[in-house]
């Protein structure tokens, strides 16, 4: 494992080994055990989009590991003025030990890895969000003890989260049902791959997707970069919501998850969100432990 560009590049064993390390790092942190696994290492963090969790979890994470974060906003970098990613990659490789990038095009992340000589971590693109799903898998295993025999239902837009959840579920052996409006399905190649595994179903019927689910997952109807489509999406996605009715359709001990930020009253009701706040904020906390595990795996 040289980079984390997308979950599809990782084997099931890579994923489990990151999750095991994340559990260990969480245990150490909770017990005041400080080990500077990345002492003196420099992590550059390029952000072309806003972030709360990703920025803070990586920044705190690298600091706790004995390294140093550099927050690099695209508003300030020359990349924002058109310096090619190929050149940015080669320059940053001379200074840093790793790069985390949040941007629009997946190709930009792939190019950074191709032209640079240091590990690259995808902190979200329009295509996928692997770091979030590693934290999600960690949280599911904490609550359920296993992935075996579980069913996850994702309700909403077939976006970057849906894409990565499909890969994360299939690689760990969970069933996943995606409920989305026609025309808003996840990436076609991933859908084909998921269906071939026998673990993925895609439907526009929310009741069918959530039936007997162990985990309900949702995300915003309009992602970063889709602000202009907001009104149209509110119309198309009404009904693709996690609410009291479809929580009832799931298993009694269902977990409700959300990558956050959440729009209460849109993809999730306030009542369901607050009733499941424990899971949702454990999930957010686990970003820290999962991100630390990824950095230790790649940068040590
Ligand atoms: N879930 C997530 O990635 O949150 P941020 O956009 O705040 O980083
Ligand atoms: N789908 C959302 C996820 C945010 C973490 C977005 O891309 O804006």
Q: Tens digits of per-residue pLDDT, 19-75? A: 999 999 999 999 999 999 999 999 999 999 999 999 999 999 999 999 999 999 988
Ligand 2 site residues (CB inside 6 A) read: 124, 159-161, 219-220, 223-224, 259
199 CA to centre of ligand 1 in angstroms:
27
285 CA to centre of ligand 1 in angstroms:
12
Query: Is 102 a catalytic site residue?
Result: yes
| Max Cα distance, the chain (Å) | 55
Query: Is 132 a catalytic site residue?
Result: yes
The SS3 of residue 35 is coil
Q: What is the pLDDT of residue 284?
A: 98
Structural domains of the chain, ranges and CATH numbers in brackets: 7-129+287-299 (3.40.50.1370), 132-283 (3.40.50.1370)
250 CA to centre of ligand 2 in angstroms:
25
Q: From the candidates 233, 258, 287, 289, which is the catalytic residue?
A: 287
Confidence of residue 80 (pLDDT cuts 50, 70, 90): confident
Query: If you average pLDDT over residues 73-85, what whole number do you get?
Result: 91
Handedness of CA 268, 273, 279, 280 (dihedral sign): positive
Q: Residue of the nearest CA to atom 4 in ligand 1?
A: 53
Cβ distance 71 to 59 under 8 Å? yes
Please write the tens of the pLDDT for every residue from 88-110: 999 999 999 999 999 999 999 99
Cβ distance 292 to 25 under 8 Å? yes
Q: From the candidates 3, 42, 48, 132, which is the catalytic residue?
A: 132
Cβ distance 260 to 284 under 8 Å? yes
Pull the structure tokens for residue 268. 């999730």
> Which residue has tokens 């770091």?
131
Query: Is 128 a catalytic site residue?
Result: no
Contacts of 6 (CB under 8 A, 6+ apart): 106, 122, 127, 128, 130, 164, 167
> Which residue has tokens 């979890």?
57
129 CA to centre of ligand 1 in angstroms:
9
Ligand 1 site residues (CB inside 6 A) read: 51-54, 124, 132, 259-260
Average pLDDT of the chain is 98
Confidence of residue 132 (pLDDT cuts 50, 70, 90): very high
Pull the structure tokens for residue 220. 């915003």
């Amino acid at each position: 494992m040289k980079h984390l560009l997308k979950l599809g590049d990782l084997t099931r064993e890579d994923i489990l080994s990151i999750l095991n390390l994340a559990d260990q790092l969480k245990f150490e942190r909770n017990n005041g055990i400080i080990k500077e696994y990345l002492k003196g290492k420099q992590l550059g963090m390029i952000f072309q989009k806003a972030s709360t969790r990703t920025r803070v979890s990586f920044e705190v994470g690298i600091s706790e590991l004995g390294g140093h974060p550099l927050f690099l906003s695209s508003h300030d970098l020359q990349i924002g003025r058109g310096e090619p990613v190929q050149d940015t990659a080669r320059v940053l490789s001379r200074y840093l030990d790793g790069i985390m990038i949040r941007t629009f095009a997946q190709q930009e992340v792939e190019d950074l890895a191709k032209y640079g000589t240091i590990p690259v971590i995808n902190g979200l693109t329009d295509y996928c969000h692997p770091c979030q799903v590693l934290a999600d898998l960690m949280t599911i295993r904490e609550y359920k003890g296993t992935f075996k025999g579980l069913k996850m239902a994702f309700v909403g837009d077939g976006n970057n989260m849906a894409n990565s959840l499909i890969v994360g579920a299939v690689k760990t052996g969970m069933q996943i049902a995606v409920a989305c409006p026609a025309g808003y399905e996840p990436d076609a190649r991933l859908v084909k791959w998921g269906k071939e595994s026998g673990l993925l179903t895609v439907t526009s019927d929310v009741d069918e997707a959530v039936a007997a689910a162990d985990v309900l997952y949702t995300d915003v109807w309009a992602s970063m970069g889709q602000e202009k489509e907001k009104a149209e999406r509110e119309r198309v996605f009404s009904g693709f919501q996690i609410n009291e009715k479809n929580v009832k359709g799931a298993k009694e001990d269902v977990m409700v998850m959300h990558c956050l930020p959440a729009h209460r009253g849109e993809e999730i009701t306030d009542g369901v969100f607050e009733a499941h706040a424990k899971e949702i904020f454990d999930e957010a906390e686990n970003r820290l432990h999962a991100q630390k595990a990824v950095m230790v795996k790649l940068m040590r």
